[in-house]
Structure 1
Amino acid sequence: MEDWIDQARDYLPSDWGSVAGACIAAGLAVGLALLVHRIVFRALRRVARSSESEADDIVVRELVRPTRWAIVALALVLAARTMPLLDTVWQAIAGFVLPALIGWIALSIMQATVKALELRADISIEDNLEARRRRTRLAIFSRMGTFAIVFVTIGLMLLSIPGIRDIGVTLMASAGLAALAVGAAAQPALKALISGLQMALTEPIRIDDVVIIEGEWGRIEDIRTTYVVVRIWDERRLIVPVNKFLEESFQNWTRRESQLLGTVFLHLDPMADVTKVRARYEELIEQNPLWDRRVQVVQVTDTAPDYMEVRLLMSARDAGTAFDLRCQIREAMMAFIRDEMPEAIARRRWEPIDKDEPGILPG
């Protein structure tokens, strides 16, 4: 038996003991780090749940994963100080791991901050102009920050590769070539960043704005770095480039406030009694809860030989409510005209030519 063990040892590497020791040290370090992380974050979750603010829960939830691996990396660093072989392995991968962990933590902190600030910008309330403004700026700046963090993190990771670092130094030595290469490669990204910054500063649109673009009515659902998502009224999504909102005209119904005026046009017989129509409209609009009690007007806006155009003007607190109010008033007024004023229905008139009338030839 002893002879067999001696023969087996001959086939093992001479530093087998150090390899095993390094593995054991690394395993113990990782296990202890995970245990410490679990204890700490269990306590933090209890503290967050006891708090009335939901922001604490968001911060703990966003940081739990990156900090877990950061503590593991810290434990490996401490263990590597006593194990030369483990230190050699760690030095080989540290250039990738450390920038990735730092970038991940920075990204998580930024996302947690953005989500916590979004809690203070509730767009479900009626007067949500300021909340929509904050949501829009948070969305744009968070995506710009995400791009910057990812870009810097990847750059630091690539610099840990000697070959790529040498290429970068060579390119930097040739300033003209480096500027040309960087400018050509970064042009789309820089253009997107500048457009996003311009969108955040000028605010042509905001989250939940009502717009008409490409002939479609919809709400701004999301603002990305390079495109905007518009939720159409029938639940389709219209993907529009950011530059279109900066370079072309479009309608924004909630630029300053959400209140809108709506119109209903009735084409009635020229002999219809407008007074009865006005009285019935005023009665209907007073009873309708969608009316915000700002504007209600009845006017004859046009006439023709066969009809007159009557405009019913009304106001509502937002675009969706104004559309529903118009539909309800239109339906109720048509029912009233049909049942109570059938003589007001527009008709085409014609009179036969009198054959005996002098000067007029029969057709």
Structure 2
Amino acid sequence: MAVTWTNALLAAGSALAGALAVVVLTHLVVRLLARRWPPASRLAHSARRPFRALVVLLALSGWVAGVRPDPSSDWATWWDAAALALRVLAIGAGGWLLTAVLLFVEDLTLGRTRTDVRDNRLARRVRTQVLLVRRLTIALVTIVTIGAILFSFPAVRTIGASVLASAGLISVVAALAAQSMLANVFAGMQLAFNDAVKVDDAVIVEGEWGTIEEITLSYVVVRIWDERRMILPSTYFTTTPFQNWTRKNSELMGSVELDLDWRTGVDALREHLPSVMERAGEMWDGRVSHVQVTDAVGGWVRVRVLVTSYDAPTLYDLRCHVREELVRWVREQHTEALPVRRLLLDGQ
């Protein structure tokens, strides 16, 4: 018995030493690789813990399988239970490592796109797709890992054939029971790849203006202009008409309307507008700044000023700036344009 336990302890030490050697060797290889490819250091940081856990668990599993006692021994049952536990933990660590590697690859793709530039439509499209793929990756790896763990138990493998034989009926029942959830999942995947809506798109939904804050596999979060959040199922954007102001590009055109008196000098207003746009600074993209008279009924003249900007938030600030400047100009320098009501009294 003493010799047996001595051999077992020596085998355990050898297994742990081998695991340590693998970890150290991998660390050195990654450091050398990071000199030529800097992202390798980030991969090592994100996958360090699951990799070490997997190597140690595999080493211990090999040791347990190699020094298994005689089946008639009192330790055989406990030994089999330990082997099963190590196998389950190794499968979990493998799923953890696979998730870390896949998420690193997806983050690497995400890091190549920038959303802090003016024309960021392509970057927002890639970001939307990567975020959806991340959630799908985690869900699929989790399902596969749980399935592999369950099939590690002999009882589950025994009933596996009968379960697979009735998989057709089970899938039909499950599809009917989860029809709404599955519809949202497929709608979320469709949104990620059909370019109908992306993260940071400016949209109008349910009569509210806002931006797409988050797209998941089942719902979409819209950040309303007043900081409220509207949670909508993914199927909303595949079945209900909505306005997307930034689907093709971020540039937008907006209008500022003023009701003025009939004595308004439209030519003077046109001559004053360039100075207003010059004071707007970077809010104006320099494309459009027009003055139009769109209506002249009800005793007033309706003047519309068209302006353009880089994106929806900047356009809103630009419209407020133009409106304030024109109101100040009318009040201080062109008082005859102030709207007034005239009443004609007939003396007879």
**TM-score band, normalised by the shorter chain?**
0.7 to 0.9
**TM-superposed deviation, 1:107:** 1.1
1:108 match: 100
1:44 match: 30
TM-score (norm 1): 0.82
Q: For the Cα contact (< 8 Å) 2:189–2:217, is it kept in 1? A: no
Match of 2:257, SS state, is strand
Task: Pick the aligned partner of 2:276 from 275, 284, 292.
Answer: 284
**TM-superposed deviation, 1:93:** 2.0
Deviates more, 1:321-330 or 1:176-185: 176-185
Match of 2:235, SS state, is helix
Task: Pick the aligned partner of 2:145 from 147, 153, 157.
Answer: 153
Amino acid of the structure 2 residue aligned with 1:200: A
**TM-superposed deviation, 1:315:** 0.9
Alpha carbons of structure 1 residues 179 and 338: separation in structure 2 relative to 1, 3 Å: closer
Q: For the Cα contact (< 8 Å) 2:186–2:217, is it kept in 1? A: no
Amino acid of the structure 1 residue aligned with 2:319: R
Q: Which has more radius of gyration?
A: 1
1:98 aligns with 2:90: yes
Q: For the Cα contact (< 8 Å) 1:220–1:229, is it kept in 2? A: yes
Q: Could you tell me how far apart the structure 2 residues matched to 1:185 and 1:68 are?
A: 41
Q: For the Cα contact (< 8 Å) 2:258–2:303, is it kept in 1? A: yes
Alpha-carbon RMSD:
2.9
**TM-superposed deviation, 1:162:** 3.5
Alpha carbons of structure 1 residues 192 and 147: separation in structure 2 relative to 1, 3 Å: farther
1:68 aligns with 2:52: yes
Task: Pick the aligned partner of 2:321 from 318, 323, 328.
Answer: 328
Q: For the Cα contact (< 8 Å) 1:144–1:193, is it kept in 2? A: no
**TM-superposed deviation, 1:303:** 1.2
1:222 aligns with 2:222: no
**TM-superposed deviation, 1:61:** 2.0
Task: Pick the aligned partner of 1:127 from 119, 127, 144.
Answer: 119
**TM-superposed deviation, 1:346:** 0.4
Percentage of pairs with the same residue: 35
2:75 match: none
1:88 aligns with 2:80: yes
Q: Which runs of 5+ in 2 are unaligned?
A: 70-77
Q: Could you tell me how far apart the structure 2 residues matched to 1:157 and 1:82 are?
A: 22
Deviates more, 1:175-184 or 1:271-280: 175-184
> Deviations for 1:60-80, whole angstroms, at most 9, x for unmatched residues?
222112101111112213322
Count of residue pairs the alignment pairs up: 339
> Deviations for 1:42-70, whole angstroms, at most 9, x for unmatched residues?
7635753x4574x3333222211210111
2:310 match: 317
Task: Pick the aligned partner of 2:292 from 288, 296, 299.
Answer: 299
TM-score (norm 2): 0.86
Alpha carbons of structure 1 residues 64 and 224: separation in structure 2 relative to 1, 3 Å: same
> Deviations for 1:114-171, whole angstroms, at most 9, x for unmatched residues?
1111111111111211111111121222222222221121122222234444444323
